[in-house]
Structure 1
């Protein structure tokens, strides 16, 4: 492994008292290339300029959330059904943004892409927020853009957007151009400002699953049955539909799935969502064909004699009582049940997208908040070259993370916040990301958008040990801040103590930057189907977390712990410790992805079989706590996920 690592950067001359001499370079010696698995990159897969563009985007998202939270009495008067509770209000607003994103996707034109600069094509920031969350589900995003003709233009705009990431900071600090606003208004027939549009847009056109007549579904009702609310339901007034159940999101999703089962137009659109993109093949037509043929052999999906495609669709709906669970039951009888949940997750509403985008945006909110709270999204935070070293360090750690994943294809690995930032940035370049994964990791690495929180603790411990074994440095860092005026100086001082390890993996020692090596938890969800065991695990983690805090307070009183270190710990929310699943999804190549494979951990580590609700996270590598005191002991657990995109009424 040693020949795969760029040489360490060492501080060769230091004055007494720890001051750097002039012979020490002020900038971080950032590697020009990285080794991932058995191959060396020709250049970094992501760079600090792209990270800055992404951070500018997150800054805009954070400001948008602040604006929505601050909606005043005038807005409440104009939108009387807008929720007062801030979390419900945000869910309502995100629901509106998803509708606006859908309108934008469906109305993009060739001229918009090839005749205009990106700053005149970009949609409003709320729509960009939804697009951003969509791209952070890279497996679904790439497959959808290839499979769905209505997303063909989005695919091309996405490539232009990826090339423009380094310029995004400048674009976002400027007022939207008149051309950009007019282009949006003309294409979507909606107002550019999301608040003004929210006042005007009060209903959504849906189509009856049986007779296909258009229906105006209110977005919000006082009874909580609007399209954006948890208990959405509407009846079709046509007499021919009197026996049809109330139209809900599930019923609309069943219609969408029945349409895809019936479709056979000789194009890639013929195949079901979730069956084309696999870790080893970008388009596995053979698998997708096999899956669909197996499903269509089910009696409930049989085509009535002399029926049209529309009649066939309605026949499937009636035989399954317009219920997704009945369709799932029929599918599971015909094919490997492991693929069915993935397919079904793409059919939860009438939107064309295979990702439930409201929930995706809400889950990303936690990550946006953490980047904002760390001040990383502040426009001037990485202005100097010395301070930019923190972003270079994140890029270096991300490449190491990819190398770690290439070493063990059947394991969960948990990114830290800094790695997750670089990883997310890479995913915003969707087709580069797809190609890079297949070239260097030798399979597609999907970003699991939601993971049950009780799966996570052991996975983070495995990641820490694997990282320590492979690179010889700790994965997450804690300890007292070292002297130094700038981030760059602190990095040089810190890495001088690492004489055998790759120094570009050692972080600058500043509390708000060390905090970025905290586990990234934004995708954690609570397992409602295992509620009792989940609550017990949460309670156990909370007890350990509180015990650790009391120990820290005692150590501070005894003068054995720097209060600044403890404060950094307390500033963190408890981590959910989200793993990255590396898995083969289908048929004979399905490989289990339990957290504790232990296949790459040395015998002293003793990582055993996978436990889905291990409590506490042990040391990173040799010993010590994840994000806090050197008192070691209990790791930070997690409780209470942000959940999916539930109702807001």
Structure 2
């Protein structure tokens, strides 16, 4: 599908330049940006500011340092049962959540209520699943406080300063311990993470279930199983069945405007945060299905028990045709969240490592004008990406890393993000970091073509500069490589890219591209090998490509083609919306625009 090329002054007002300006001149020109256009709407100012992006990068740096501390800490920090874990296994086991925060004035909250860094890490990962996060905060009473604190996240991070050096006041460490029975310091808490109170789906007894066992049957281990004194073997599928049955039997007829009585993943749609009609229709269909229907005059507790017994206390025994795959993704254990937060944190590690490899997590990196240009370009390109989403022409749209960090920062505005995406893009732009790699790879090519058609310039070019090259060298290389902005280029190194899902019925969605993609990647590597032998390509750049490390030239819609682009690896996430394609996932994030199904 062809798109009208956006007006040159839509994204950047930049004077025509015959030769390459200095980075400070580029930054000064870019900083004069007055407005953006997304679809038919004009945005009077940037939806995200550079100070928030910098603070977000500082937060990611603190997360990375925390992970390194956990993975390399001495064994005496750990309970005996956890000392056999290697670094990555320790990180997967290490997590806490907060139930005892309350809303106060921001400065007071930072001093008296701000949670430890590992809890901020969980909250951060939760907010990067914006549709699930919004619906969960609406449906689940215990999470209601999080919604009230949405506007606090980034301001609090800024106010706390360098989180790698942050120290809470003594009063805060004491109140945290009183509330949670764990120390405020994340590493000190590790020796306390021994058991979890888990209710038996059969008799309702509360059991102290170990997190780890030598035989691998602990709550946080793959083969979790605990035998209750009632004789029921408690498993994750049994806990998930209990959670599902509890939501199913909740009375939605007497109070149809109460979010908590509906099933996860049915209330929040791409255009309506509370689609009562749809949620009620899905619940009625299930509640009155022959296999789930209650017997006449049966109490709700009896109804719930009969459902669990009928399906052998295992949610995996439910017929797949009964429930939407998105809904079933929310029922994997007994935890209230519809997102596996531990898995989400682990996936974020890939993105954080990519940012660190680019040098973006280095303190003071963007104090230099040459590097500051990168963030300013990223802001402009993010708004152009939202404009592309509003056009909805491809099965996937794949953001690059520079766009992705701004997108993630925008999501940390909570309700404000969902409101702005609906207002300017036309639907709630969700984020999913579980999209299959091959669909992201093909979606990158589609994004390049759609971007070229809409804005009349390339989405990116692969330059593969070395990480220790000076910025001036990188800009010179990019300028030399650009050539004509009218050339329709095909992307390379797409395996770690984010994507945005558009139309589910697009033919590309049904085509298995693995073989074709493998052949294409092999052809490109052979081509680059010949270029090295001919002296036309640096051998080190070729080696970097073999490691699947790539950086990209990021031209700006409406800007003079030339110096000042941002260079990124491809991002690992996807933009989507509820019901777009069930269990999306590859890279880190994806955006979708088809109708809810």
Q: TM-score, normalised by structure 2?
A: 0.81
User: Paired residue for 2:440, among 439, 443, 456?
Assistant: 456
1:86: which partner in 2? 87
- Name the count of aligned residue pairs: 544
User: Paired residue for 2:150, among 149, 158, 168?
Assistant: 158
Per-residue CA deviations over 1:390-431 (Å, capped at 9, x if unaligned) read 111111111111100100166310111111111111111111
User: Paired residue for 2:291, among 291, 300, 323?
Assistant: 300
- Residue 322 of structure 2 is aligned to residue 319 of structure 1: no
2: distance between equivalents of 1:247 and 1:323?
10
2: distance between equivalents of 1:539 and 1:177?
58
2: distance between equivalents of 1:145 and 1:197?
27
2:42: which partner in 1? 40
The worse-fitting range, judged by mean Cα deviation, of 182-191 and 424-433 is: 182-191
Where do 1:470-509 residues align within 5 Å? 470-479=454-463, 487=471
1:256 Cα shift? 0.5
1:70 Cα shift? 1.0
Preserved contact between residue 574 and residue 588 of structure 2 (Cα < 8 Å): no
1:268 Cα shift? 1.4
1:153 Cα shift? 0.7
User: Paired residue for 1:2, among 2, 7, 32?
Assistant: 7
2: distance between equivalents of 1:247 and 1:258?
16
Flag the 1:61–1:32 CA change in 2: closer, same or farther, 3 A: same
Name the SS of the counterpart of 1:32 in structure 2: coil
Preserved contact between residue 460 and residue 577 of structure 1 (Cα < 8 Å): no
Per-residue CA deviations over 1:277-302 (Å, capped at 9, x if unaligned) read 11111110111111111111013322
1: distance between equivalents of 2:123 and 2:23?
48
Preserved contact between residue 108 and residue 153 of structure 1 (Cα < 8 Å): yes
Preserved contact between residue 572 and residue 588 of structure 2 (Cα < 8 Å): no
Per-residue CA deviations over 1:533-568 (Å, capped at 9, x if unaligned) read xxx976876676566445434423422124464355
2: distance between equivalents of 1:221 and 1:578?
33
Flag the 1:639–1:200 CA change in 2: closer, same or farther, 3 A: closer
Preserved contact between residue 347 and residue 588 of structure 2 (Cα < 8 Å): no
Where do 1:176-325 residues align within 5 Å? 176-238=168-230, 242=231, 244=232, 246-264=233-251, 266=255, 267-325=258-316
2: distance between equivalents of 1:189 and 1:573?
44
Preserved contact between residue 397 and residue 419 of structure 1 (Cα < 8 Å): yes
Flag the 1:183–1:522 CA change in 2: closer, same or farther, 3 A: farther
1:325 Cα shift? 2.6
Name the SS of the counterpart of 1:27 in structure 2: helix
Preserved contact between residue 113 and residue 172 of structure 2 (Cα < 8 Å): yes
Stretches of structure 1 that go unaligned for 5 or more consecutive residues are 503-513, 525-535, 586-590, 596-611, 613-637, 642-649
Stretches of structure 2 that go unaligned for 5 or more consecutive residues are 1-5, 501-511, 551-568, 590-597
2: distance between equivalents of 1:21 and 1:395?
16
The worse-fitting range, judged by mean Cα deviation, of 415-424 and 551-560 is: 551-560
Preserved contact between residue 11 and residue 493 of structure 1 (Cα < 8 Å): no
User: Paired residue for 2:536, among 560, 574, 584?
Assistant: 560
2:428: which partner in 1? 444
User: Paired residue for 1:364, among 337, 348, 356?
Assistant: 348
1:27: which partner in 2? 28
Name the SS of the counterpart of 2:428 in structure 1: coil
- Residue 138 of structure 2 is aligned to residue 130 of structure 1: no
Flag the 1:539–1:430 CA change in 2: closer, same or farther, 3 A: same
Preserved contact between residue 138 and residue 430 of structure 1 (Cα < 8 Å): yes
1:139 Cα shift? 0.6
Name the SS of the counterpart of 2:60 in structure 1: helix
Q: TM-score, normalised by structure 1?
A: 0.75
2:365: which partner in 1? 381
Where do 1:83-122 residues align within 5 Å? 83-93=84-94, 97=95, 100-101=96-97, 104=98, 106-110=99-103, 116-122=108-114
Name the SS of the counterpart of 1:282 in structure 2: coil
Where do 1:329-408 residues align within 5 Å? 329=320, 332-333=321-322, 340-408=324-392
1:194 Cα shift? 2.3
Preserved contact between residue 381 and residue 403 of structure 2 (Cα < 8 Å): yes
Per-residue CA deviations over 1:607-643 (Å, capped at 9, x if unaligned) read xxxxx9xxxxxxxxxxxxxxxxxxxxxxxxx9999xx
Per-residue CA deviations over 1:216-274 (Å, capped at 9, x if unaligned) read 11111111000010000011103xxx3x4x11011001101111011127221011110
Flag the 1:271–1:555 CA change in 2: closer, same or farther, 3 A: same
2: distance between equivalents of 1:442 and 1:640?
23
2: distance between equivalents of 1:203 and 1:497?
57
Preserved contact between residue 432 and residue 575 of structure 2 (Cα < 8 Å): yes
Flag the 1:449–1:518 CA change in 2: closer, same or farther, 3 A: closer
1: distance between equivalents of 2:403 and 2:242?
40
2: distance between equivalents of 1:579 and 1:56?
20
Flag the 1:541–1:144 CA change in 2: closer, same or farther, 3 A: same
Flag the 1:129–1:289 CA change in 2: closer, same or farther, 3 A: same
Preserved contact between residue 184 and residue 190 of structure 1 (Cα < 8 Å): yes
Flag the 1:33–1:251 CA change in 2: closer, same or farther, 3 A: same
Name the SS of the counterpart of 1:423 in structure 2: helix
1:487 Cα shift? 4.7
1:49: which partner in 2? 51
1:188 Cα shift? 1.7
- Residue 397 of structure 2 is aligned to residue 413 of structure 1: yes
1:576 Cα shift? 8.7
User: Paired residue for 2:406, among 422, 426, 437?
Assistant: 422
Preserved contact between residue 52 and residue 409 of structure 2 (Cα < 8 Å): yes
Flag the 1:385–1:128 CA change in 2: closer, same or farther, 3 A: same
Name the SS of the counterpart of 1:181 in structure 2: helix
Preserved contact between residue 417 and residue 519 of structure 1 (Cα < 8 Å): no
Preserved contact between residue 386 and residue 486 of structure 1 (Cα < 8 Å): no
RMSD of equivalent CA atoms: 3.8
Preserved contact between residue 46 and residue 425 of structure 1 (Cα < 8 Å): yes
2: distance between equivalents of 1:640 and 1:108?
29
